[in-house]
Copies of this chain bind each other. A is one copy, B any other.
Amino acid sequence: MNSFDPRNAPLLAWVDGVESNAIDIADRGLAYGDGLFETFRVINERPLWWDRHLARLTRGAEALGIDMPNPTRLHIEALNCCEGAVDGVLKLVLTRGSSGRGYRPGEGRPTRILSLYPSPSHQEAVTAIRCGTRLATQPQLAGFKHLNRIEQVLAARECQRAGVDEGLLFDTEDRLASGVSGNVFLLRNGEWLTPLIERCGVAGICREWLLEQVASCRETVLSDADLDAAEAVFVCNSVRGILPVTALDGQSLPCPDLLSALRELLWRELPPLPAKDCTGAE
């Protein structure tokens, strides 16, 4: 492959159960973003929150009409891919498989791609901006993690240009929706509030854990004014855990004890990332 750049290569990759880093150009994942993905934190050869991720993948596959692979086989392949990984990130992509030209799904079998990456290093906090890029409201695709992610790419480019770590996204109807690479929570009167994921955005696994396990976390509709009035803000995902936002659009935001405590509570389930980039494989 001509475009291959070893700096971007995963440590290990499997396509349909065979070690490979190539897929067919006729794969519908490439042609139309016709598929789903999940990103797992791996610790001591084990992908964390496996069942939660698989449940979301299954919901997404049902919504798109993609056949789910046998979950046991998928688990075995994932464990094979994580062999030797002390701390890493496992990415699982499920596409509708190859087909001829045209949107109409053919007879192809789904493609499953597993790849192992190094863990990113621990960050104490992130800086963020409100992104100009909006998330389109599309209830049919809200919640699951499909491969149509140009909006997130455009938002990430905004963050890159602004020299910040993260971005907060509103939907096209001016509701707070999400972070670029995770969900967003804000603190108000002792409660942690996060946007409902009904019209756009991904229902994150870390967000799900927090909503289930922490009484002070709940979903609601949030506006820009709510963000302005927030006593603290964090973004979260299932690799990085909770990341306090300590500057938003150049304005400092506090990181109160309540936030540090919540972060430490999550660490019991999802341990902090290593201090330096970890290759993930011994």
Residues on A facing B (Cβ under 8 Å): 1-5, 7-10, 13, 15-18, 20-34, 37, 39, 64-65, 89, 91, 93, 95-111, 113, 115, 117, 133-134, 136-138, 140-141, 146-157, 159-160, 172, 180-181, 200
Contacts and interface: CB of A to CB of B under 8 A. Distances in A.
B157 A150 contact: no
B7 A24 contact: no
Task: Give the most central of A27, A93, A107, A157: most B CB within 10 Å.
Answer: A27
A105 B159 CA distance: 11
Nearest to A105: B157
A146 B137 contact: no
Contact of A5 (B30, B31, B64, B108): B108
Given A2-B18, A136-B141, 7 more contacts: A3-B97, A4-B98, A15-B25, A31-B149, A32-B147, A105-B160, A140-B154
A3 B16 contact: yes
B104 A32 contact: no
Contacts of A147: 30-33, 150
B8 A98 contact: yes
A172 B98 CA distance: 30
- Each complex incorporates copies of this chain amounting to 2
A113 B25 contact: yes
A100 B137 contact: no
Contacts of A31: 37, 93, 147, 149
A111 B4 CA distance: 9
A180 B103 CA distance: 8
Contacts of A103: 149, 152-153, 155-156, 180-181
A213 to B, nearest CB: 26
Contacts of A149: 31-34, 103, 148
